[in-house]
Structure 1
Amino acid sequence: MSKYELSISERQKHTKIREGYCLLCERYGKLTFDHVPPQGASFLSEIEQFHITELLSEPKRNIKGIKSPNGGKFKTICNDCNNTVIGGKDDIIKKVCHDASEQILHIAGTTNPDYRIITVRTDILNYCRAMIGHILAATSCDECRKPPKETSYFTPLQNFVLGKSQDISETHDIHYWFYPYKKQISARFICYYENGAIYCMSLLYFYPIAFLVTQKGAPVYTNHSRKVDFTSNTLRFPATINRYIDFPFCELSGNKMYMLAAQQCTISYPR
């Protein structure tokens, strides 16, 4: 590998494809770029994107990220899934972000915990469908090159996004909390280990909400997180932070660790 290749994020190797298997509907055909997070839901436009492992590695590498003038993009889903299945619900994500951001501006500076609770009314079902759809799309295009296989973790999520099921609470939990950072993190799949047990999880974190999907019953250590209630029409969470806000990409104590494939986990920074 040349010095130039070593100086550029390996993310560049995972974007070049024309046709493949859509990671949502699984049909083979022309693939399109999905914006993650969707345009209008984030204040970022120009970004620099890396595999998160490149920034966590020791010793630190001095590398350049992949630049994009209009946010993070992943060429992994077909046009119909992009524009209709999840794209048709992106306005819900945008409104949630806008309403939460407006409330955060109004409570800035207050120290009374009773006034630091963000409450957003929304279509919970379709908000979660759109967010999970973007999470499933946020990965390497290499995953589109082989015929898909049914799995106990991803298949229920795909069926939920596609509207084939109305609830995933039998197989998955969804957690959310206040996310105050400009950086954006997406991870299609992570294995989390604790005391002999392994749990699967996926995530999409961008201001002002962190959205974490886990295997049913997985432990989550953000003590101010909330679990999605599909019988409600409200997201409600405190605008507070702690050291676990980037979970699992944070300091883990005791018998805990996480495992991942580098190409499935990206981090973006404003330019």
Structure 2
Amino acid sequence: MKKEGICRICGNYGKLTFEHVPPQSAFNSKPVLFQKSVHIHDKNSYLYGKKIRSNQGAGGYYLCKSCNNLTGSYYGDSYKKFAYKGMMALTNRVWASRVITFEYAIQPLNVLKQILSMFMAIDTSDQLLHLEGLSSFLLNKDSQTFPKNLRVFIYHTSTKQVRNGWGMARTSKGYHYLGEITYPPFGLVYSLDSEPTRDDFFEITDFKNYKFNQTVQGRLSIPFLTPKTYIPGLYN
């Protein structure tokens, strides 16, 4: 039976469909245990400290059928190919000071939009839904108009500890407002109105400057990190 609620991309109320985060074709087809923000941050909730088992893979009932189909058809295959290359790089372990350098053929704008679709899907605070211009950036495949206070980063990881959440972290650099998704081969991070928790993330915000379906070839040097806890932003 389909669940009902507010679609986290278009903001309309109605039936929701299961959204895989990351896409099912990007190694996300097996059962997983994961925690959302309420399991990590809300000590007053009966869910605090618990985990969720998803037999369909990581994800949930986040998006309406229209937004799910649209983002999946526009951007899902591009992210799948990027993830497959990333897994190849991770498997071959081309290291240089904890950085994996590999040659990628990538559709940058498509990949960025898929990543942001995933972040919007898991954001129970709706701060991304209400961030001016972000929904239209995703729903218009050709749009390159991107919120100036949002930055996006990636890193390599092999952790089996799934992080799909958003929140605040505090480091020696100060307070950070961020979201994070970890699912091998990548960890994905956004920062909003703040600096990232680390200086060595590989930033992909400028992927917005490419055109839809534009393919480029390039050598990416992406750090390898291991999340420390389920709390976003902290690493071993």
State TM-score, norm by structure 2: 0.75
Give 1:114 deviation, angstroms. 10
**Runs of at least 5 residues in structure 1 that lack an aligned partner in the other structure:** 1-15, 253-271
Question: Per-residue displacement from partner, 1:1-40 (whole Å, max 9, x unpaired)?
Answer: xxxxxxxxxxxxxxx9732321111222221111111102
Is 1:99–2:99 an aligned residue pair?
A: no
Q: Are 2:163 and 2:182, in contact at CA under 8 Å, matched by a contact in 1?
A: yes
Q: Are 2:134 and 2:146, in contact at CA under 8 Å, matched by a contact in 1?
A: yes
State TM-score, norm by structure 1: 0.66
RMSD: 3.9
Question: Per-residue displacement from partner, 1:107-131 (whole Å, max 9, x unpaired)?
Answer: 36xx655994133221111111111
C-alpha change, 1:86 and 1:156, in structure 2 (3 Å) is farther
Give 1:80 deviation, angstroms. 0.8
Residue matched to 2:114: 130
**Superposition map of 1:100-119 within 5 A:** 100-107=86-93, 113=97, 116-119=100-103
Q: Are 2:85 and 2:104, in contact at CA under 8 Å, matched by a contact in 1?
A: yes
Is 1:174–2:152 an aligned residue pair?
A: yes
Is 1:65–2:42 an aligned residue pair?
A: no
Distance 1:54 1:101 in 2: 29
Residue matched to 2:220: 236
Question: Per-residue displacement from partner, 1:115-158 (whole Å, max 9, x unpaired)?
Answer: 94133221111111111111111255xx79xxx9974xx33322
Give 1:244 deviation, angstroms. 7.2
C-alpha change, 1:114 and 1:21, in structure 2 (3 Å) is closer
Select 1:29's aligned residue among 6, 10, 14: 14
Distance 2:48 2:123 in 1: 23
Bigger mean CA deviation after superposition, 43-52 or 220-229:
43-52
C-alpha change, 1:31 and 1:227, in structure 2 (3 Å) is same
Give 1:163 deviation, angstroms. 2.0
C-alpha change, 1:139 and 1:207, in structure 2 (3 Å) is same
C-alpha change, 1:70 and 1:222, in structure 2 (3 Å) is same
Rg comparison, structure with higher value: 1
Residue matched to 1:13: none
The count of corresponding residues between Structure 1 and Structure 2 is 224
**Runs of at least 5 residues in structure 2 that lack an aligned partner in the other structure:** 211-215
C-alpha change, 1:177 and 1:183, in structure 2 (3 Å) is same
Q: Residue type of the partner of 1:226?
A: F
**Superposition map of 1:246-261 within 5 A:** 248-250=232-234
Give 1:95 deviation, angstroms. 0.7
Is 1:20–2:5 an aligned residue pair?
A: yes
Is 1:224–2:224 an aligned residue pair?
A: no
How many percent of aligned residue pairs carry the same amino acid? 18
Residue matched to 1:3: none
Residue matched to 1:74: 60
Q: Are 2:151 and 2:190, in contact at CA under 8 Å, matched by a contact in 1?
A: yes
Question: Per-residue displacement from partner, 1:179-204 (whole Å, max 9, x unpaired)?
Answer: 221222112x4234568975432222
Is 1:38–2:23 an aligned residue pair?
A: yes
Give 1:54 deviation, angstroms. 4.3
Distance 1:149 1:39 in 2: 23
Give 1:97 deviation, angstroms. 0.9
Distance 1:107 1:115 in 2: 9
Q: Residue type of the partner of 1:93?
A: Y
